[in-house]
């Protein structure tokens, strides 16, 4: 503990030298002690050695403002924005309130936020929200028993394509086949292939139809479950 009233009284030289040394020790240790100095001055620094917090005296000399907290075990520092919001590891370089953290933990930034690692949203039913005015689009993970990752396509698809998966988490754009088509924007004709190259089983509770002669390649199997129907329309010549 090194505190002093910083007032050198009139006295003989040996006492004056001791008084000066004590005052310099107080200045050198930022008036460190377990309690605030009994004599204070505006803008005076005081290090609370019990809480490891550095304070500065306000200009009215009637209160102390916390500046930072020191972790003496790990040799790190945590800065204070105010009495209720502590902004550890955030540096204000231009004086603007570019980042704010309220007492509920909500972080707001007026600029871009760059994350070099994974961005993790913890808890259950947590949403990733994209704001547009006062409304937003949100994405929420379902109940999971294991991690799930989807890899987005590297480029945009074409008009009327849809997003599909390969079953291993890799997403790509595909073209819907079998729908009605035609010239321009017409959707009149439903086209189908007539050569079967891959094994296929009709879905249970579903019927199927095709037009034309069906050719099933060698080794390829078409399975029609019991009770289901496949209707083939063709013209005898």
For 163-213, write each residue's pLDDT tens digit.
Answer: 999 999 999 998 876 677 788 878 788 888 899 999 999 988 989 999 999
pLDDT: which is higher, 41 or 122: 41
**Could you tell me which of 192, 195, 155 has the C-alpha nearest to residue 173?**
155
Q: What 3-state DSSP class applies to 156?
A: coil
Of 26-40, 42-56, 92-106, minimum mean pLDDT range? 92-106
Tokens encoding 137:
């689009």
Percentage of the chain modeled with pLDDT above 90? 58
Q: 47-56, 70-79, 124-133, 212-221: which range is least confident on average?
A: 70-79
Q: What is the mean pLDDT of residues 113-132?
A: 89
Contacts of 162 (CB under 8 A, 6+ apart): 173, 174, 175, 176
Widest CA span of the chain, in angstroms?
A: 132
Tell me how far the alpha carbon of residue 103 is from its chain's centroid.
19
State the pTM of this model.
0.42
Q: What angle do CA 12, 15, 18 make, to 5 degrees?
A: 145
Q: Which helix (H) or strand (E) holds 171?
A: strand 171-174
Confidence of residue 89 (pLDDT cuts 50, 70, 90): very low
DSSP string, 174-197: E---SSEE-STT---EE---SEE-
Q: What is the pLDDT of residue 85?
A: 45
Q: In 3D, which of 150, 193, 156 has the Cα closest to residue 173?
A: 156
pLDDT of 219 > 90? The answer is yes
Q: What does the pLDDT average to over 8-34?
A: 93
Q: Average pLDDT in the 90-96 region?
A: 51
pLDDT of residue 79: 74
- Cα Rg of the chain, angstroms: 37
Structure confidence by residue, pLDDT tens digits, 4-15: 889 999 999 999
Give the pLDDT score at 83: 45
Evaluate if residue 136 carries a pLDDT over 60: yes
Tell me the C-alpha to C-alpha distance, in Å, between residue 144 and each of 8, 125, 140, 147, 182.
71, 11, 12, 7, 43
């Amino acid at each position: 503990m090194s505190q002093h009233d910083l007032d050198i009284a009139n006295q003989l030289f040996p006492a004056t030298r001791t008084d000066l040394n004590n005052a310099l020790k107080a200045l050198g240790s930022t008036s460190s002690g377990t309690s605030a100095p009994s004599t204070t001055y505006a803008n005076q620094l005081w290090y609370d050695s019990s809480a490891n917090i550095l304070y500065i005296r306000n200009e009215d000399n009637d209160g102390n403002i916390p500046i930072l907290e020191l972790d003496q075990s790990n040799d790190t520092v945590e800065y204070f924005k105010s009495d209720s919001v502590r902004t550890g590891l955030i540096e204000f370089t231009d004086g603007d309130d570019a980042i704010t953290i309220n007492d509920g933990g909500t972080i707001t930034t007026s600029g871009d936020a760059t994350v070099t690692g994974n961005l993790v949203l913890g808890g259950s039913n947590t949403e990733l929200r994209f704001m547009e005015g006062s409304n937003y689009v949100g994405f929420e993970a379902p109940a999971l028993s294991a991690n799930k990752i989807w890899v987005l396509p590297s480029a945009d698809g074409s008009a009327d394509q849809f997003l599909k998966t390969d079953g291993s988490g890799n997403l790509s754009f595909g073209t819907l086949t079998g729908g009605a088509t035609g010239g321009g924007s017409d959707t009149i004709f439903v086209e189908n292939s007539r050569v079967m190259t891959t094994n296929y089983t009709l879905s249970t509770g579903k019927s199927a139809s095709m037009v034309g002669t069906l050719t099933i390649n060698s080794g390829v199997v078409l399975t029609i479950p019991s009770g289901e129907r496949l209707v083939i329309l063709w013209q005898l010549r």
